[in-house]
Every structure is written in C-alpha cells, then in structure tokens.
Structure 1
Amino acid sequence: MATRTEMDRRRIVISGCSSGGKSTLLKQLGARGFATVEEPGRQIVREALETGSDALPWVNPEAFVRRAIEIAAESLRAVQGTDGPVFFDRSAVDALAHFERLSIDTPADLKSLGEACLYDRTVFFAPPWAKLYVQDEERPLPFEEAVREYDWLGIAYPARGYRLIDLPKTSVEARASFVLKSLGLPHIKP
C-alpha cells in the first residue's frame, strides 16, 4: 500500500483518443484545484505552425516525437516538488507509441529519455467519441485515424505496465468526479 507521501506525489496521465475530451477534463480538474499539465502535442503543433517549423506529426514525425518527449521530461521535472497529484494530458508513452505505430526506429537517446518519464500506473483512457471529434488546423486527421491511434495506445500503455481505466462518455463534471473517486481523492465541484 502506498504511503501518504507517495499518494500525494502521483503523476496521473489522461490519454486515449484525440478529441476525446481530455483537455476539457484537465481544465475541470484544474478548476477543482488540482495541478495539471497541458498536452505537449498541441503545443508543438501550434509552435510549428507559428514559426514554420516542420515538427508536425504528419510532416516530420521524428522532430515532433523528439520535442514531445523533451517537453514531457521538462514537465515532470517542473512538478517534481509539487505536493498533491498532477494530471497530465498525454505522456512520453504517447510519443514513443507514435514512433512504434509508424514503424520508425526510436533513436536510443530519445528512447532512454522517454522511458525515464515515469507516471502513476493508473492511466485514464478517453474512448473515441465521434460527437466530440473536431478537426482543425492543429488536428487535421480524420476521426478514423484518431481511432487507429487510440487502438495503438491501448496496446502501448499496458505493454509498459500501465493499467487503463476507460473514461465514461458523460459530462465533464461527471468525468472529473469519476477520476477523482477512482483515485480516492476529494471530488468537490468548484
């Protein structure tokens, strides 16, 4: 059983399908007073579109994954002294799985950095939800591609020893309460 100190320093990942409500859930958890970390992928795509960089997952997957893993490692270091759980929108596992899905050999230094990013073994997994799916400049891929990514992540996380808990298709408030109750944390609404 985890000690109180270990429980207060959990680093919890919310992963799963693109446009499955992960970022919205993260905002709700933040509104309830919990520390959160934004998804690296959206940040990288925004930066690439603003600067003209080719670090886009559909243009230069290696540059994109390298940056995603670097940001994941930086994010973990940044919250190192934070008491209480921290919720992450995706993780280094998502980035490594992207390479695997595309059958790209992961450079050794990148693999080592990604594998050093450790999170709570419980990962909350957002299922494909067509009703929520939105394509935009930062997410140009069709829903079917998001489902393929989701399926692959459903293999990649357990292969690394993580336990997936599917998020229910319900309101963001109910989802947040579900996550917090599953972790034994207070789930008072803001």
Structure 2
Amino acid sequence: MNNLIVFTGGPGSGKTSVIDALKSLGYRCAPEVGRKVIQQQVEQQGRALPWLDKVTFRDEMVREELANYQAFEESEQLVFFDRSIVDSYGYSLLETLPISESLLNNCNELEYNSKVFIFPPWDSIFINDQERKQDFDEAIATYEKMVTAYNQFGYQLVEVPKLSVEVRVEFILASVG
C-alpha cells in the first residue's frame, strides 16, 4: 500500500484542523505548501503571491510540493499530506493558468495513495485570514476544480463528512486502516 495519504478540497473546509489532530496522535504529516509560500513571500516582500503573480505562486507551490513528496516518498508509515502536486494542477485550472509539461509529468509520475480524502465546502466553519483571502464562492469553485483534477489523474475521491474533527479523524483512519 502507498502510505502517502492526501487531503484536498477548497480553502477553509477543515483540512488543516484534521492534520493538526493527526499530528497530535503521533502521525507524520506534510504541511500545506500554499500557506507556507504565502508566509515566506510576505516576509520577503516577494511577488509569488496569489493576489500579485498567480503563475509564480503556483510554480513556488509546485517546488514545495516536490520537496514534500521527496521528503516522505519512502516512508513505511502513513504520512498525511495537506494537499499534493495535483492541487497545483487544480489551482492552474481554477485560475486558467498555462500548464507546463513538467507539471503534467509530475502529476502523472508522483504516486500517492489512490484514495484521496476530499473535504467539501462547509460555510459554517469557513473563515478568512491573512493568507486565506478567498470568499466562500471561491472555496466552492476550488473544491470543484480539485474534483476535476484528481479525477483526471485517476484518484478515488472519498468525501470527508461534515462532522467534528475527532469524527473526521476516526473516519479517515478507518478508511485507510
């Protein structure tokens, strides 16, 4: 079994809360790269930000996703990813950005577990912050593009129920068990 388990979906749907809960239980988790890139770029006064230069932002996310994958690809333990390289492809679809041959190759060649957990838009928990400037309609559109992207690359999407973090964690662990 491939031990690299991906969480995807729109922003503000609870992925990071579940990742944090899994970390507290001792599971290995790869961080969300979009937030990391935004924080680094703001700190460095860079331009690779989704509100300044979407292509450069996407390319930085790809670079970070590759590093995440390489850091964990040989893991014999479960590793939970807060998004994957396929999300960068989905972001490209969402923003109608040009898609390079390299990105397509990476999406085809980097292998994650065939079951991908998708977190549906959930208005009652959605909030904006310094790094998340999208509104709820954009969260829905992002979710839809992630469904398209993961289906295109042959992943089986498993929708995570809109329940407490604890129940979501139990659901995911039972599904990968």
TM-score (norm 2): 0.94
Residue 141 of structure 2 aligns with which residue?
Answer: 148
Match of 1:103 among 96, 100, 104: 96
Map residues 41-52 of structure 1 onto 2, 5 A cutoff: 41-52=34-45
Query: In 2, Cα distance between the equivalents of 1:162 and 1:110?
Result: 17
Q: Displacement of 1:107 after TM fit?
A: 2.5
Partner letter of residue 80 of structure 2?
Answer: F
Query: In 2, Cα distance between the equivalents of 1:28 and 1:175?
Result: 10
Residue 8 of structure 2 aligns with which residue?
Answer: 15
Q: Displacement of 1:117 after TM fit?
A: 2.4
Contact 1:66/1:110 (CA < 8 Å) preserved in 2? Answer: no
Query: In 2, Cα distance between the equivalents of 1:13 and 1:110?
Result: 18
Contact 2:117/2:159 (CA < 8 Å) preserved in 1? Answer: yes
- Give the SS at the match of 1:134: coil
Residue-by-residue CA offset, 1:102-147 (whole Å, 9 max, x unaligned): 2222123343334432211101011111111111110111111111
Query: In 1, Cα distance between the equivalents of 2:104 and 2:50?
Result: 17
Match of 2:82 among 73, 77, 89: 89
- Is 2:166 the partner of 1:173? yes
- Is 2:56 the partner of 1:63? yes
Q: Displacement of 1:83 after TM fit?
A: 1.9
- Is 2:110 the partner of 1:117? yes
Q: Displacement of 1:99 after TM fit?
A: 1.1
Residue 188 of structure 1 aligns with which residue?
Answer: none
Residue-by-residue CA offset, 1:66-121 (whole Å, 9 max, x unaligned): 11111111111111332211000001101111112222221233433344322111
Once the two structures are aligned, what percentage of the paired residues are identical?
A: 31
TM-score (norm 1): 0.88
Larger Rg: 1
Which structure 1 residue ranges, 5 or more long, are not aligned?
A: 1-6, 185-190
Partner letter of residue 175 of structure 2?
Answer: S
- Give the SS at the match of 2:150: helix
Contact 1:69/1:114 (CA < 8 Å) preserved in 2? Answer: no
RMSD: 1.3
Query: In 1, Cα distance between the equivalents of 2:112 and 2:66?
Result: 11
Query: In 2, Cα distance between the equivalents of 1:116 and 1:137?
Result: 33
Matched residue count: 177
Q: Higher relative CO (CA 8 A, sep ≥ 6), structure 1 or 2?
A: 2
